[in-house]
Amino acid sequence: MIYACVKRLSDILIGLVGLIVLIPLTVIIKLVYICTGDFHPIFYTQERIGKNGKTFKIIKYRSMVPNADKVLEKLLKQKKYRNQWEEFQKLDNDPRITKVGKFIRKGSIDEFPQFVNVLLGQMSMVGPRPLIPGELKEHGGKTKDIEKYQSVKPGVTGYWAMRIRSDKNSDYDERLKLEYFYIENRGIVLDVKILFHTVGTVLRQEGAQ
């Protein structure tokens, strides 16, 4: 109970600070996109699974082309990309990412809008990666594993992000093991450790690949 209260309070405080940063950052990113000839919305939303299986719209700065989902469908028809996606749930040198997107991903700036999700109580600053509907089932997840994963709020950052986020060779099962480790061992000390590591990662511009 104490851990839950401390965690929610810290989420609110960090979320409010993040929201202050988010306002001028949004203006800057919008101007940069306009200067590159991209006049599409800079925010990207996607349905994700939250605590107790409830769905919500995760918010990010758009780092890909506007029709990224349709482009992905075409790419997955190619064996090269299909094999990568099935094993890692991501593409190496993803052709959908824009020039601006590569920059904002470098320091995980694209994830800053998730402060809104945190303030709304849909996410926590630290937790397992927010999954898309059906993702665990698609990868052979058992009912008890799915229930365990959905027993906590997904996080903006997490144990997996701290350990192997930039490791292109980490497969999906390896990432899940780290997520379950966090769920079973979560606590104030581990959360603080993950947050400090994340801040260092952002300052060093070691974002997602």
Q: What is the 3-state secondary structure (H, E, C) of the chain?
A: CHHHHHHHHHHHHHHHHHHHHHHHHHHHHHHHHHHCCCCCCCEEEEEEECHHHCEEEEEEECCECCCHHHHHHHHCCCHHHHHHHHHHCCCCCCCCECHHHHHHHHCCHHHCCHHHHHHCCCCEEECCCCECCCHHHHCCCCHHHHHHHCCCCCEEECHHHHHHCCCCCCCHHHHHHHHHHHHHHCCHHHHHHHHHHHHHHHHCCCCCC
The Cα–Cα gap between 84 and 76 comes to: 9
Q: What is the mean pLDDT of the chain?
A: 87
Predicted confidence (pLDDT) per residue in 69-121, tens digit: 888 888 888 877 778 777 777 777 788 888 899 889 887 889 999 999 999 99
More confident residue, 199 or 193: 193
Q: What is the pLDDT of residue 165?
A: 59
Q: Is the separation of the CB atoms in 18 and 59 below 8 Å?
A: no
> What is the per-residue pLDDT for 208?
55
Q: Which residue has the higher pLDDT, 206 or 200?
A: 200
**pLDDT, mean of residues 118-138:** 91
Residue 157 has pLDDT above 80, yes or no: yes
**Residue 106's pLDDT is what?**
82
User: What's the pLDDT score for residue 65?
Assistant: 86
């701290």: which residue's tokens?
162
Q: Name the band, by pLDDT with cuts 50, 70 and 90, for residue 161.
A: confident
| Maximum pairwise Cα distance, the chain | 50
pLDDT tens, position by position, 23-67: 999 999 999 999 999 999 999 999 999 999 999 999 999 998 888
Give residue 1's pLDDT band: very low, low, confident or very high (50, 70, 90): confident
Domain ranges of the chain: 2-63+98-203
pLDDT-derived band of residue 194, with 50, 70 and 90 as boundaries? very high
| β-pair partners for 45 | 59
What pTM was computed for the model? 0.84
